[in-house]
């Protein structure tokens, strides 16, 4: 039930293809409102079944005459409740799109929903409103259901459904407003600290630690409150509340830690520059024997080979993986063109690209090697995808993302 800034958490070569690579494992796509795919994960069906069973038992107390039909009413409530959750997430999504922030997808899952926003908000103010939009709409929905209750009889199916939907939306709003990451209230707290200090990272650290404190509080207080509120609960009910508290605490704790790791990664992303990762390269024509090209490569202490035409214009790049597949004894008899990939529109990378702009350019045209060009269009060298992926992994681990062995000079 919160938005997730996932841009820093994706691998460099995960293409933006919602129907294939970006589909969560086992998830079903339910539609594309506002162009954003909505997925239902397998865990949702488990929760929907659990809600149907538990709510069906509660309906039997209020409306004992329904018999088995109470489970149909309960199933309708489960679907309507998750419809409200989807509206909550769409509020985040619509505002993100208005702020020109890309949204990868929306997931409905075990404990609500997640809007995966792949870029950071441009300011603390936008971060605050982006986070507040979901709880605000949940409050509005709760108010709408409260108003509708005035026109129905309480002890009827419509009355029970409207009351339950009103309460559930108010609970969703209140829970999400708790001040700790990864909840919406945690992102609002992050925005406030960001605004006060001028440092996004300071806001993330404060909200992440608030989230961890919140997780411990949920772990301890939820079962304690349940036991105090209803002393006559059986062992099974008390155990259920304890397990629920533990699961919620684990989700909040892990989400807070993940938000902190992603924020630290975003701080290191500007160091992922095309210039710093460019491999020194040699230029040869396509009819050059592969063995000769590799000799020149070693002599120049370079790591990439650019294939040019007779006028010296780059037309292709030698594929490192293809070269490795050629036995040594065959290399003198093969031409460089046979192990090269032609330069396409997305194969040329500007040397000025860095951070998320660089990752976006690589995702848009996945390849093993790219030609790096200066502002005048002159070739500077070769950017290997494997180097970017290694640098990305090092940045995620909090290490220097640019090893010295990669730099051209």
Residue that wins the pLDDT comparison between 259 and 376: 376
pLDDT of the residue at 236:
55
Instruction: Provide the pLDDT confidence category of residue 1 given band limits of 50, 70 and 90.
Output: low
Average pLDDT over residues 154-170: 92
> Global pTM?
0.70
pLDDT at 185 over 80: yes
Tell me if 20 sits within 8 A of 14, measured CB to CB.
no
Tell me if 284 sits within 8 A of 304, measured CB to CB.
no
- Closest residue by Cα to residue 254 from 203, 192, 201, 183: 183
Tell me if 131 sits within 8 A of 184, measured CB to CB.
yes
Q: Which runs of consecutive H residues, i.e. helices, occur in 99-199? A: 124-149, 157-176, 184-197
Both tokens of 381, joined, read 């060298």
Per-residue b or e along 197-207, where b marks 16 or more CB atoms closer than 10 Å to that residue's CB: eeebbebbbbb
pLDDT at 186 over 90: yes
What's the CA gap between 70 and 59, in Å, rounded? 6
What's the CA gap between 53 and 62, in Å, rounded? 15
Residue 304 pairs in a beta bridge with: 281
Question: Among 7-11, 45-49, 371-375, where is mean pLDDT lowest?
Answer: 7-11
Question: Among 133-147, 174-188, 354-368, where is mean pLDDT lowest?
Answer: 354-368
- Closest residue by Cα to residue 350 from 274, 276, 271: 274
Average pLDDT over residues 26-54: 88
Tell me if 84 sits within 8 A of 168, measured CB to CB.
yes
pLDDT at 10 over 50: no
pLDDT of the residue at 17:
34
Task: Determine phi and psi for 354, rounding to 5 degrees.
Answer: -155, 160
Residue that wins the pLDDT comparison between 239 and 159: 159
Query: Strand pairing of 304-308 and 314-318?
Result: antiparallel
Tell me if 216 sits within 8 A of 224, measured CB to CB.
no
What's the CA gap between 6 and 152, in Å, rounded? 43
Dihedral through CA 278, CA 279, CA 282, CA 285, nearest 10?
Answer: -70
């Amino acid at each position: 039930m919160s938005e997730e800034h996932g841009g820093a958490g994706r691998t460099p070569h995960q293409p933006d293809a919602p129907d294939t690579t970006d589909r969560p494992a086992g998830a079903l796509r339910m539609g594309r409102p506002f162009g954003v795919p909505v997925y239902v994960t397998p865990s949702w069906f488990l929760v929907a079944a659990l809600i149907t069973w538990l709510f069906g038992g509660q309906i039997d107390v209020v409306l004992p005459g329904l018999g088995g039909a109470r489970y149909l009413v309960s199933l309708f409530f489960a679907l309507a409740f998750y419809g409200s959750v989807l509206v909550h997430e769409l509020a985040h999504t619509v505002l993100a799109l208005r702020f020109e922030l890309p949204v990868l997808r929306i997931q409905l899952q075990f404990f609500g929903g997640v809007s995966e926003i792949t870029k950071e908000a441009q300011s603390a103010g936008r971060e605050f409103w982006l986070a507040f939009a979901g709880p605000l709409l949940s409050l509005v929905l709760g108010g709408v259901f409260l108003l509708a209750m005035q026109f129905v009889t309480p002890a009827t199916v419509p009355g029970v459904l409207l009351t339950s939907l009103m309460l559930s939306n108010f609970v969703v709003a209140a829970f999400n407003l708790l001040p700790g990451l990864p909840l919406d209230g945690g992102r609002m707290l992050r925005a406030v600290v960001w605004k006060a200090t001028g440092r996004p990272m300071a806001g993330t650290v404060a909200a992440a630690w608030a989230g961890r404190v919140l997780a411990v509080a949920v772990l301890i207080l939820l079962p304690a409150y349940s036991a105090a509120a209803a002393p006559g609960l059986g062992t099974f009910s008390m155990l259920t509340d304890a397990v629920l508290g533990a699961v919620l605490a684990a989700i909040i704790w892990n989400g807070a830690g993940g938000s902190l790791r992603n924020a630290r990664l975003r701080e290191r992303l500007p160091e992922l520059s095309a210039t710093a990762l460019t491999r020194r390269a040699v230029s040869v024509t396509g009819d050059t024997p592969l063995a000769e090209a590799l000799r020149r490569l070693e002599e120049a202490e370079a790591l990439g080979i650019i294939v040019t035409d007779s006028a010296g214009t780059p037309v292709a790049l030698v594929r490192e993986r293809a070269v490795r597949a050629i036995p040594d004894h065959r290399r003198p008899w093969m031409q460089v063109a046979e192990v090269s990939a032609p330069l396409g529109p997305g194969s040329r990378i500007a040397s000025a690209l860095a951070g998320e702009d660089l990752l976006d350019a690589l995702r848009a045209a996945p390849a093993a090697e790219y030609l790096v060009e200066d502002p005048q269009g002159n070739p500077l060298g070769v950017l290997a995808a494997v180097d970017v992926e290694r640098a990305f992994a090092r940045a995620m681990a909090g290490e220097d993302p640019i090893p010295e062995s990669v730099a051209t000079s």
